Amino acid sequence: MSFDHLNTIYRSFDIRGKFPEEITPEEVEKIGKAIVVHFGAKKVAIGRDIRPSADILFDSLSKGLTSQGCDVIDLGLTTTPMTYFIGGSTDVDATVMITASHMPSEYNGLKITIEDSKPVSADVLQILKEIVGTHTFSSEKTTGSITTHALQDDWIANFKANHDLSETNYSIVIDPANMIGALDIATFKAFEPDITVHTIYNEFDHTCPNHEANPMKHDTLTDLGDEVVCQKATMGIAFDGDADRVGFVDENGIPVPSDIIGIILTKYIMAKYPKSTIVYDIRSTKALPELVESLGGTAIQEKVGHTFIRTTMREHDAVLGIELAGHFFFKESFFSEGGPLPAFMVMEVMKKEQKTLSELAAEAKVYFPSTEINSEISRKPEDIFAELRGVFSDADLRDKDGLSIHYSDWWCNIRPSANDPVMRMNLEADTQELMEEKRDQVLKIIRS
C-alpha cells in the first residue's frame, strides 16, 4: 500500500486531515484495528467534539476496535481534557479524542493516549501507520461491546472537591468560540454564587461564525475583552476548539500572555509543592525559570509541542508544564491539560494575594517580548541559521528546536514551521528599546 496520500495526516502529535479527502472512514476503522494490534487494548474510551464528521468517524473507529474484540466506552461530546481525565482516573487502556482542535470544521482527527493518559508520540503514530497499511487483521467473530458513559458530573465534582472560591465574588466571562469548550461553562457555574458567570459565543456552531477558536491569536480575544469591560468583570477566559488550550484577558480586557500566566501558576504550584520541577517551552520569558529557581525549584526548558513537554514532565516528575500556545499541563491531571484548571488556580492566587489579574501580570512581566512573529522565507532554514550564527558568533548558541541566541540582556529563538515555508521568531530583551533593535536586526536576516 502506498502511504503518499497519508503523509499529511500522521503528524508529530496526532492524526489530522481534511475529511473525507485525507482522513477517511476506512482509514479510521483500520486505525482502530491497529490500536488493538499494537497496544493490546481491551477497553478504549472515545470522546468527540461537534464537527459534522465526528459521529461518522466515531462509528468507523468503534467498528475497527470492536471487530478486534475491544470494548468501547462512548463518552459522547467531550473536551480533550475530559478524555485525559477518563484515561487517568479509570481502567481504560487508551483514549481517543476525535477532534482537529482549532482547525476549520472540514478537518478532523484523532488524539490518542494510552496507559494513564500518556500521549502517543510521532514514532508510535508511524508504527500505527505501518500497521494500517501492512497488517492482516483478525477476522475472528469476537466482537467488543459499546457502552455509554456521561462523565461531566464526575468532572465537575473533581473541581468542586479541589478548589475554593468562597467569598471571592468574582465575575468572569467565558468565550468557548462556539466550540466544545461550552461544556465547561457548567464547571464554572457549579461555583455560583461565589462567582458570577457570563458567556459569549456559547452556542454550538462548528463554523465558528464569530472568530477562530484559537486564543494564542490575541485578535480572537477582542470580543472577550470588550465583554469583560462591559460587565465590569474580574477576568475573561477563552478556549480553543477542543478546550485543551486556555487564553486569558484581565479586568481591563487586555490579553495576558501564556508565559505570564505560567508565572502566576508557578506561584500557586510551588507554594503547594515546594522545590518541585516545572517544564516550560523554549519561547517563554526567562523570568519564568528565574522565578522557579529563586523558589528552590528546578526549571527544564523543552521543545515546543505538547508531547515533548508531557513526556519530559513524566521523566522528571514535574508538577507543571507551560507552553506559550496556551497549553498548561499538570501532574494532578495526569501530566496533561486540565481544561479550566489553570483558570481556577489563577483565581485562587488572586484570592490569596488580594490582587487583580492585571496586578499579578504586571509583577510577572519583568522583560520585554516581541511576541511570536512569523515570516515567509525564500531560503532554506539551514542557510538562515548559518548567517545568524555568523552574525551572532559571540552569543551562547543553542540548537534545541531551531536556533536560540542568548546574550546577557536579550535572547531569541528562531524555528521553522513544520508545515509551511515560514520561520517563527520569539525575542525578549531587558528593555523595550533593545527588544525593538534586535527584533528588527534578526528579522532582516530571516527575511533577506
- Mean pLDDT computed over every residue of the chain: 94
Tell whether 246 and 311 lie within a shared domain.
no
CA dist 369 and 299 (Å) reads 20
- When pLDDT is cut at 50, 70 and 90, the band that residue 2 belongs to is very low
**Cα dihedral value 190, 195, 198, 199, nearest 10:** -50
Task: Kindly report, residue by residue over 97-106, the tens digit of the pLDDT.
Answer: 999 998 999 9
We report the CATH number of the domain holding residue 420 as 3.30.310.50
| Chain centre to alpha carbon of residue 1 | 33
8 A C-beta contact, residue 300 and residue 293: no
We report the CATH number of the domain holding residue 237 as 3.40.120.10
Starting at the edge strand found earlier in the chain, the sheet holding 195-199 runs 195-199, 170-175, 235-239, 246-249, 255-256
Tell whether 91 and 144 lie within a shared domain.
yes
Tell whether 251 and 308 lie within a shared domain.
no
Tell whether 265 and 207 lie within a shared domain.
no
Domain-terminating residue out of 256, 288, 315: 256
Catalytic residue among 67, 101, 284, 370: 101
- pLDDT in the model for residue 338: 93
Tell whether 246 and 270 lie within a shared domain.
no
For residue 403, pLDDT over 70 is answered with yes
8 A C-beta contact, residue 58 and residue 108: no
Alpha-helix residue ranges (DSSP H) falling in 184-329: 185-189, 222-231, 258-272, 287-294, 306-316
Task: Kindly report, residue by residue over 79-124, the tens digit of the pLDDT.
Answer: 999 999 999 999 999 999 999 998 999 999 999 999 889 989 889 9
- pLDDT in the model for residue 1: 42
Number of domains in the chain: 4
Task: Kindly report, residue by residue over 192-234, the tens digit of the pLDDT.
Answer: 999 999 999 999 999 999 999 999 999 999 999 999 999 999 9
Tell whether 262 and 279 lie within a shared domain.
yes
For residue 371, pLDDT over 80 is answered with yes
- When pLDDT is cut at 50, 70 and 90, the band that residue 11 belongs to is confident
Tell whether 288 and 240 lie within a shared domain.
no
Residue that wins the pLDDT comparison between 53 and 134? 53
Tell whether 136 and 10 lie within a shared domain.
yes
Domain of residue 376: give its range.
368-447
For residue 3, pLDDT over 70 is answered with no
For residue 164, pLDDT over 60 is answered with yes
Strand residues in 303-343 grouped as ranges (E): 320-323, 327-330, 336-337
8 A C-beta contact, residue 338 and residue 258: no
- pLDDT in the model for residue 136: 79
Give residue 201's region: left, alpha or beta (phi > 0; psi -120 to 50). left
Q: Is 101 a catalytic residue?
A: yes
Query: What average pLDDT score do residues 242-265 get?
Result: 97
Is residue 162, in this structure, part of any structural domain at all? no
Is residue 161, in this structure, part of any structural domain at all? no
- When pLDDT is cut at 50, 70 and 90, the band that residue 436 belongs to is very high
CA dist 61 and 268 (Å) reads 40
Tell whether 304 and 397 lie within a shared domain.
no
- When pLDDT is cut at 50, 70 and 90, the band that residue 59 belongs to is very high
CA dist 27 and 4 (Å) reads 14
Short-list 187, 189, 196, 190, CA closest to 169 = 196
- pLDDT in the model for residue 150: 87
Is residue 158, in this structure, part of any structural domain at all? no
- When pLDDT is cut at 50, 70 and 90, the band that residue 417 belongs to is confident
- When pLDDT is cut at 50, 70 and 90, the band that residue 381 belongs to is very high
- When pLDDT is cut at 50, 70 and 90, the band that residue 139 belongs to is confident
Task: Kindly report, residue by residue over 317-344, the tens digit of the pLDDT.
Answer: 999 999 999 999 999 999 999 999 999 9
**DSSP 8-state symbol, 407:** -
For residue 350, pLDDT over 90 is answered with yes
Tell whether 28 and 102 lie within a shared domain.
yes
Tell whether 21 and 103 lie within a shared domain.
yes
Tell whether 62 and 146 lie within a shared domain.
yes
Task: Kindly report, residue by residue over 264-321, the tens digit of the pLDDT.
Answer: 999 999 999 999 999 999 999 999 999 999 999 999 999 998 889 999 999 999 999 9
For residue 6, pLDDT over 70 is answered with no
